[in-house]
């Protein structure tokens, strides 16, 4: 609430003032709930693709202006259609949500983890070079293989990694990570591949 508005409200009758302040509190809470709903994937609670794209634009601009590093993971659940067919959509959704929780635990709060479609995830790692991203991918695979529920249902992931280069655009950056993902799938899945 700005200063002038506060002054006007403070001049009101105390009971009316209380009601106005309560109304502003409710509005603020509602706006916060609406904002979260607008930027989050409903099923997993991860960021949605629209929010990811907005943050990617900002992070790319930061990297172009300075010396910061930026890496990107594109992750896909291996054979998710078979999981759906074998266990049904409800169980597949449950596994998707479980995987999302495992993913979220492995990253920093500053990393942007988003769901991009059915079983695909984009993870943006600010201030992270490719060497560090490779270590994170190894830790991530271990966490997934250690999770009892995911292990029981043979859930594995494939991923592509890329580090932003000076001549990159947002599009070429994503294309390299995507190309790496398809290489990982073609080499037998259940692995991460990077394109230098």
For the chain, how long is the longest CA-to-CA vector?
Answer: 73
At 43 the three-state DSSP class reads: coil
- Write the CA distances from 117 to 63, 123, 142, 170, integer angstroms: 27, 13, 24, 19
Bigger pLDDT: 42 or 78? 78
Bigger pLDDT: 150 or 66? 150
Q: Is the pLDDT of residue 1 over 60?
A: no
- Beta-bridge mates of residue 158: 76
In this prediction, residue 20 carries a pLDDT of 66
In this prediction, residue 56 carries a pLDDT of 96
Q: Is the pLDDT of residue 104 over 70?
A: yes
Q: Which of 147, 131, 127, 140 is nearest to 74 (CA)?
A: 140
- pLDDT-based confidence at 37, cuts 50/70/90? low
Q: Is the pLDDT of residue 2 over 70?
A: no
Q: Which of 173, 159, 171, 176 is nearest to 70 (CA)?
A: 173
Beta-carbon count within 10 A of 38 CB: 10
Share of the chain above pLDDT 90, in %: 64
Q: Is the pLDDT of residue 168 over 80?
A: yes
- pLDDT-based confidence at 31, cuts 50/70/90? confident
**Class for the domain spanning 49-195:** alpha beta
| Alpha carbons 91 and 101: distance in angstroms, whole number | 15
Is 119 marked active-site? yes
In the block, which residue shows the tokens 């009892």?
A: 148
Q: Is the pLDDT of residue 70 over 80?
A: yes
In this prediction, residue 26 carries a pLDDT of 73
CATH 3.30.70.270 residue spans of the chain? 49-195
113-118 long-range Cβ contacts below 8 angstroms, 24+ apart: 113/46, 113/47, 114/41, 114/46, 114/47, 114/48, 114/49, 114/51, 114/52, 115/41, 115/43, 115/44, 115/46, 115/47, 115/48, 115/49, 116/49, 116/52, 116/74, 117/49, 118/80
Q: Provide the terminal-to-terminal Cα distance of the chain, rounded to the nearest Å.
A: 49
> What pTM did the predictor assign?
0.81
Choosing from 7, 18, 68, 119, which is the catalytic residue?
Answer: 119
- pLDDT-based confidence at 87, cuts 50/70/90? confident
In this prediction, residue 101 carries a pLDDT of 94
């Amino acid at each position: 609430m700005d200063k002038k508005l506060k002054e006007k409200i403070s001049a009101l009758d105390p009971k009316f003032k209380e009601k106005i302040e309560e109304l502003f509190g409710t509005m603020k809470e509602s706006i916060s709930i609406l904002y979260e709903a607008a930027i989050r994937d409903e099923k997993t609670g991860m960021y949605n693709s629209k929010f990811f794209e907005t943050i990617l634009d900002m992070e790319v601009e930061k990297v172009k202006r300075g010396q910061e590093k930026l890496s990107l993971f594109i992750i896909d659940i291996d054979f998710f259609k078979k999981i759906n067919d074998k266990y049904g959509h409800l169980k597949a959704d449950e596994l998707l949500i479980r995987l999302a929780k495992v993913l979220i635990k492995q990253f920093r709060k500053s990393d942007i983890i988003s769901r991009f479609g059915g079983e695909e995830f984009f993870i943006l790692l600010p201030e992270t070079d490719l060497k560090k991203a490779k270590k994170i991918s190894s830790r991530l695979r271990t966490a997934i293989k250690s999770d009892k529920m995911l292990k029981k249902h043979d859930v594995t992931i494939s991923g592509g990694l890329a580090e932003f280069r000076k001549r990159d655009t947002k599009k070429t950056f994503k294309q390299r990570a995507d190309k790496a993902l398809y290489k990982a799938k073609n080499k037998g899945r259940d692995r991460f591949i990077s394109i230098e």
